[in-house]
Amino acid sequence: MALMTSIIKIMPIRSDHSANTNPLVVAIAYDGLCTFEFGVAVEVFGLARPEMGPDWYRFAVAGIDDGEMRATGGIRFVVDGGLDLLPEASTIIVPGWRGMDRPVPADLCAALNAAHDRGARVLSICSGVFVLAAAGLLSGKRATTHWRYTDTLKERYPDILVTPDVLYVDEGNVLTSAGSAAGLDLCLHLIRRDYGSVAANMVARRLVVPPHRDGGQAQFITQAVPKAHESSRLGPLLDHMRSDLGGNHSVESLAARAGMSTRTFLRRFEAATGLTPARWLLAERLSRARDLLETSPASVETVAELAGFGTAATLRHHFRKHLSTTPADYKEAFGKAS
The CATH class that applies to domain 279-334 reads mainly alpha
Integer Rg of the chain from CA: 21
pLDDT of residue 12: 34
**Exposure string over 124-158, b if 16+ CB within 10 A, otherwise e:** bbbbbbbbbbbbebbeebbbbbbbebbeebeeebe
Considering the entire predicted model, what is its pTM? 0.66
Are residues 245 and 308 in contact, defined by beta-carbon separation less than 8 angstroms?
A: yes
pLDDT of residue 325: 85
Q: Domain residues of the chain, as ranges?
A: 24-207, 224-273, 279-334
Checking DSSP bridges between strand 24-29 and strand 142-143, what pairing results, if any?
unpaired
d(CA 223, CA 217) in angstroms, rounded, equals: 11
Mean pLDDT by 10 residues, the chain (338 residues): 39 41 92 96 94 93 94 93 96 96 96 97 97 97 93 96 88 92 92 87 83 55 41 79 92 93 91 85 90 89 94 94 86 68
Are residues 242 and 254 in contact, defined by beta-carbon separation less than 8 angstroms?
A: no
Strand partners, 121: 91
Are residues 147 and 164 in contact, defined by beta-carbon separation less than 8 angstroms?
A: yes
d(CA 200, CA 294) in angstroms, rounded, equals: 11
Which 3 state secondary structure label does DSSP give 198?
Answer: helix
pLDDT of residue 158: 96
What single DSSP character describes residue 42? I
Q: What residues act catalytically?
A: 126
d(CA 192, CA 334) in angstroms, rounded, equals: 7
Which 3 state secondary structure label does DSSP give 66?
Answer: coil
Q: How many CA atoms lie within 13 A of 104 on its CB side?
A: 20
d(CA 13, CA 333) in angstroms, rounded, equals: 5
Closest CA to 138 of 164, 170, 111, 106: 170
pLDDT of residue 223: 37
In CATH, the architecture of 24-207 is 3-Layer(aba) Sandwich (3.40)
Indicate if 279-334 has the same CATH topology as 24-207: no
